[in-house]
Homo-oligomer: A and B are copies of this chain.
Amino acid sequence: MSKKVYYFGQLGTEGSGKMKNELGGKGANLAEMTAIGIPVPPGFTICADICQVYYDEGKKIPAWLSSQIDEAVAKIEKELGLKFGDESNPLLVSVRSGARVSMPGMMNTILNLGLTDKAVEGLARKTNNERMAYDSYRRFIEMFGDVVKGVHGEKFEHQLTAAKEAAGVELDTDLTAEQLKELCAKYKQVYKAALGEDFPQNPREQLYASIAAVFNSWNTERAILYRKMESIPDAWGTAVNVQAMVFGNKGNTSATGVAFTRDPSSGENLYYGEYLVNAQGEDVVAGVRTPIGIRKEAAAEKGFAGQSLEEVMPSAYKELTAVFNKLERHYKDMQDIEFTIDEGKLFILQTRNGKRTGFAEVAIAVDMVEEGLIDKKVAVSRIKPDSLVQLLSPIFNLADKKAAKASLVGKGLNAGPGAATGALVLSSHKALEYKANKLRCVLVRADTSPEDFPGMMAAEGVLTARGGATSHAAVVARQFGKPCVCGLGTLRINEAEGVLYCGDKMIKEGDPISIDGSTGEVFFSSIKTSPSEVNQVIVDRSLKAEDSKVYSNFKKVMGWADEIKKLEVRTNADSPRDVQIAIDFGAVGIGLTRIEHMINGTERLLPLRKLVLSSVEDVKKKALEEIKNFLAKDFKGIFQALKGLPATIRLLDPPLHEFMPHTDEEIQVLVKALGVTTEEIKHALDGMHEHNPMLGFRGCRLGVVNSDITAMQVRAILESALAVQAEGTAVKPEIMVPIVMNERELEHQKVLIDKTAQEVFAAKGAKIEYTVGTMIELPRAALRAKQIAEHAEFFSFGTNDLTQTTFGISRDDAGKFLPPYVEGVKNPYANATKAFEVYPNDPFQVLDQEGVGELMKIAVERGRACKPKLKIGLCGEHGGEPSSVEFCHRIGLNYVSCSPYRVPVARLAAAQAALKD
């Protein structure tokens, strides 16, 4: 019979870390640690494929395997000088499951196996702790009875309750050794009454029954369901790990603790951990006693001078730090370790890569590269893109946030990361007032429109009652690194009275409010925030680069990412300031400038309103000229800031009614300006109403039906480009036509743009290179990409709109069904235990590779079938989302474009995508 039991320990470890398929994850890890000389309590692993054999044999452990098991037990006994059931030196073991992939909580564990009436006395003597010994025995009888033999746990619990009542105590821990001894007797009676047989006094019998119980637990209903959900094959089976027990609670030479090889919060290369003398693992976690730092300095800082492990057990500490170093060198990552010191002897029970903050993640990766432990590629591949977001977001002071817990009123969509606090304002102009008075405020609106833009910029953060993660509020907020929470449906705003309700809580304008855009939490109180160090260096320029370790780590990682990535990263930016920030964050050009973002504020809206609502040719002409002029001014600033980098400028995209007046006051301004009646204006505005503006008169449809609108924009772009070129700065304008559904639309616009360009060049007596391309943001455009490419010099995927149309979901209206789809709805299956998950995530955040992605692949293929070198990018919100960036890399895009603050995330994700190739 082949070898199916693998011993690990000082007598020659037989398995290794590479044998995960055979030994399961836990078994392989125990073998690995033992093999590299880490002091792990010895034990053995029964291979996972035996699980199937066990079932094939009619739930029996085959005889040929028994000899391998017995042999392995003997090895443990020999190594430790202990014996199963021995009166003075009893061997106790744990029996645990361990599948190829982790199935947390799904299968059985038995501890303290080996205790018998005799062995318990041996344990008591050895530990000099009779109470602990009998408490262990009591627990073992219950666990074995329940888990292995199926005796209902309640039956034991009734006895425990009776014993406590008899003793007049409330807690288990208040029972004396004598009382526990009696309880053990009672437990054995319960066992016998339930099963008609005595509690087994033979540890081997206990062991074999427990191994069988682990195999049985592979096929419990919940384990089967879990495997089905996680697509784990039934045939894999679970391995069984049998390992000698060690005890941190055998007196003052024993201890137990958890430790990190580096500081998981800051990433500093300092040992970090906590321990307790004479305690068990769970005591450290349970918080009954306060654990003490293992390192002298750290313990002293917290007021435990002289009590650190370093001081109390210097030799064990030294041994432990040696283990730290060894494990880090072996696993090449920061480790999270559980250890026990059993009568002065150190044992490592578990090691795994330690969880850490984003700051620590970056710092550790950088340090490890500099220590030569890992190379740059590994460092880059290890940093989660979200960790970068942490590095860039303003944050609440954690203690302050905890203290404010009572004022938490709800949780909306975490639409723009970062924390904001200030006085409540309910209108844009109020926000501007606060800003003017140098007061911080948070703008709260039902939802936002371009009119609210100045107010959003003036506020510290934005909160809305309606709209999803890609609503106007959210898009603008992320664009400007503004904390934002969206779609908190329980909000009720009474702007007239200046009051905000959330459920039964109410505050007035001016009262403090705080929002956490990273979690979606909203507080009716003030909580302290600070901006990130990286932003202090790059955006605020209030901190010098050389003074910030965080920034310097960030910069190093970004540099490595750039060396690796193939995809370029551009930015979505509409102002010189944005462009500068994006370049400082590493963007190599603009992937999307939205002209509509330049038409903000009453002064700029007025000429557009005149253009649309006047019927006098002269007024229209003058309005066009005015718009052209302020656009040209903005473009000029952008081209100057770009210093020769390319800029993709999208022609006006939203339906024009979005720019029209809403209030009577604004209408009156037009009535006067145009010399028409209020009724005429209102009638015209009524006529502009759209049922579904997302699918309405927008994008290139505007410029195809009304050539003047396109020509005016082209003039603004090229006249400003010529002006900046004349200053000696290179300019690379790329004019992008939105919402194209067929090739004729693009042909029309391309011909018109080229004709207008010739006119501008002739008028100015100078020329400039420019290109014309299109957004691919409608399913039909993707399907007709070959024909469309005839007229395009580049494509850019507008995945926001492409997602909306492919799914038939308006992102602004998805709040009612998309969150329940993702979180799970009422499950229609009989006896279902979980909610029914309809869709795995928000497709406006994470690109849908199956649907939208297929259309993108089609468009890339067909576009390049027409023009093999067609430049193709993506400029939707997905350009800053890591899995979406990876997809873009995979289908061969040239670049992604995202908001300035997401550029670092996209650069990192692009590098990680390249590493996966």
Contact = CB atoms under 8 A, between A and B. Distances in A.
Interface in A180-218: none
Contacts of A839: 742, 744
A553 to B, nearest CB: 41
B829 A751 contact: yes
Contacts of A697: 813, 816-817
A744 B851 CA distance: 14
A780 B851 contact: yes
Interface in A667-716: 683, 686-687, 689-697, 701, 704-705, 707
B695 A830 contact: no
A106 interface: no
A59 interface: no
Nearest to A489: B687
A426 interface: no
Interface in A800-836: 801, 804-810, 812-813, 816-817, 820-821, 825-826, 828-830, 836
Nearest to A808: B778
Contacts of A810: 690-692, 694-696
A848 B780 contact: yes
Contacts of A826: 707
Nearest to A696: B813
A394 interface: no
A534 interface: no
A577 B459 CA distance: 61
Contacts of A755: 828, 830
A144 to B, nearest CB: 41
Contacts of A378: none
A837 B805 contact: no
B751 A850 contact: no
Contact of A779 (B466, B687, B779): B779
A854 B848 CA distance: 20
Copies in the complex: 2
A638 interface: no
A480 B810 CA distance: 31
Contact of A692 (B687, B692, B830): B692
A399 to B, nearest CB: 36
B748 A808 contact: no
Contact of A784 (B687, B779, B825, B851): B851
Given A748-B836, A783-B854, A809 B705 contact: no
Given A492-B683, A748-B836, A850-B784, A695 B809 contact: yes
A752 interface: yes
B817 A704 contact: yes
Nearest to A750: B828
A693 B808 contact: no
Nearest to A739: B808
B705 A804 contact: no
A460 interface: no
Contacts of A474: none
B741 A808 contact: yes
Contacts of A744: 836-839
Contacts of A850: 783-784
Contacts of A489: 687
A128 B344 CA distance: 142
A30 B690 CA distance: 57
A745 interface: yes
A825 B779 contact: no
B838 A704 contact: yes
8 contacts: A690-B810, A690-B813, A691-B694, A692-B693, A695-B813, A697-B816, A744-B837, A779-B779
Given A691-B810, A780-B848, 4 more contacts: A446-B686, A695-B810, A705-B820, A744-B837
